[in-house]
Amino acid sequence: MKNKAQFEPSQRLKELPPYVFAEIEAKKKALEEKGIEIIDLGRGDPDLPTPPHIVQRLAEALKTPHFNRYPSYVGITEFRRAAARWYKKRFDVSLDPQTEVISLIGSKEGVSHAPMAYIDQGDIALYPDPCFPIFYTSILFAKGKPYPMPLLEENAFLPDLGKIPQEVAERAKLISLNYPNNPTTGVATKEFFSEVVRFAKKYHLAVLQDLAYSEIFYDGHYVPSIFEVDGAKDVAVESHSLSKTYNMAGWRIGFAVGNAELVNYLSLVKTNIDVGIFEPIQLAGVEALEGDQTGVDELRKVYQRRRDILVAGLREAGLTFNIPQATFYIWVRVPTGHTSASFADHLLDKVGIMVTPGHGFGKSGEGYVRFAFTTPDEDLTEAARRLATLKKGV
C-alpha cells in the first residue's frame, strides 16, 4: 500500500499559481495571532448586511418542507424570469428566461465553467491580465492555452484587440472580459463592447463578460451591459452576481444570460459537475431583484463616502492612482524602488495595512497594489491617518 505522503497532485494543480487571497489570509492570521492590529484592505468582501426584506423572504421560504429536495440545475422559473425582467429594466435588454438565462452559484461559477463549455484541449483562450485569478486558472483546468491581453493604464485598462496576433486570434475560441474591472477598476464603454463583438464575429469567438460590479458605480457614471450593442447576443454570455449589489456574497447566487446555445453549453457543464442553488435562496434572489431597490442607492452612497476617505489618505501619502468610477477598489501604483510585493509588505510592516499585491492578479499587475474599501468608515479613517504618516516619515 502506498504511503499517502507519496501521492502527488495532478499536473494541472502543479501548474496553478499560488492563490493570492489564500496567501493574504494566512499572513493576516499569523500577524493577528501575534497581537498586531491589522486593517485589512486586501479582500473585496462586502461587510454590510443583506437588506432585511431579502432575509425575510428566505426565512419564509425555509418553512416550506419540499424545498429540502434537489433543486433545478438551471434555476427555478421564478428566479430566471426575475433575472430577465431585471435586465430589461436595467439595460432595456430582452431575454427569454427559458433559453437565455441560467442560475449560477455566484458569477465565479460561470467564469470557471466557461472554458470547459467552450474550448477543447490546446485551444487558445484570451483572458485579461491582470484579472481575478479564476479567469486564468479555469483555462488551465480545461487544458486550454491561456493568452493574456494586457490591461494597461495608458489604454484605460482596456485590452488592445488590435495587438493580438492574427495567428493567435484565429486559434482562439474564447475571450473573457470583466467590466467594471477587478482589480484595475477600469470601465468599459458601449463603443468598446461593439469592438469586442466585431472581433468575436471575425474570429468566431465566444465572449464571456463578467458584470459582477455593474451596480457599484459613482459620480453618475453609467455601466453598460455588452448586450446593449448590436449583435452581442450572437456571440456572448454575460455573468452577474447578487453578491455585491445586495451584500449576498455568502449566499452564492448569480446568473448568466445571453446566446441560447452558449447558455445551454454552460448548463450542460453545470448539470454534470454540481447541483442547483437551494430554492429558498433563489426565492430570496427574486426578492432582491424585484423588491425595494432603495438599499442599492444607499449602498453606492456608502461606498462613495468610503472611497473618498481612502482617496484622501492615499493623496496625503503621495501615492499615484486613478479615482475609481466603479467597483469598491482603488488600483494604486507602487512608489519607485518597490515591487508590488515589497510595497504590500512595506504597508503591512510600517502602518499595519494589508493590501493585495498586483502581481497576484497577473504579470501586468506588477507595479500596483489593490486597496479594497469594503470596511467600516472608522477603519478607513484610521487607515487614511496611517497612510498620511508614510509621507511624513512618522
**pLDDT over 70, % of the chain:** 97
Domain range summary for the chain, segments of one domain joined by +: 4-49+295-392, 52-290
Q: What is the pTM of this model?
A: 0.93
What's the pLDDT tens digit per position in 340-361?
Answer: 999 998 999 889 999 999 999 9
Given 3.10.20.600, 3.90.1150.10, 3.50.30.50, 2.40.50.140, which CATH number is that of 4-49+295-392? 3.90.1150.10
Instruction: Report how far residue 209's alpha carbon sits from residue 231's, in angstroms, rounded to the nearest whole number.
Output: 14
User: Stretch 43-69: mean pLDDT, rounded?
Assistant: 94
Residue with cell 427574486: 286
Helix 52-61 crosses helix 279-290 at what angle (to 10 degrees)?
Answer: 150
Q: Which three cell numbers stand for residue 386?
A: 496611517
Cβ partners under 8 Å of residue 1, min gap 6: none
Beta bridge partners of 316: none
What's the pLDDT tens digit per position in 176-199?
Answer: 999 999 999 999 999 999 999 999
Query: Considering only the top CATH level, what class is 52-290?
Result: alpha beta
Query: Residue 150 carries which side chain, given as an amino acid letter?
Result: P
Q: Which three cell numbers stand for residue 199?
A: 472581433
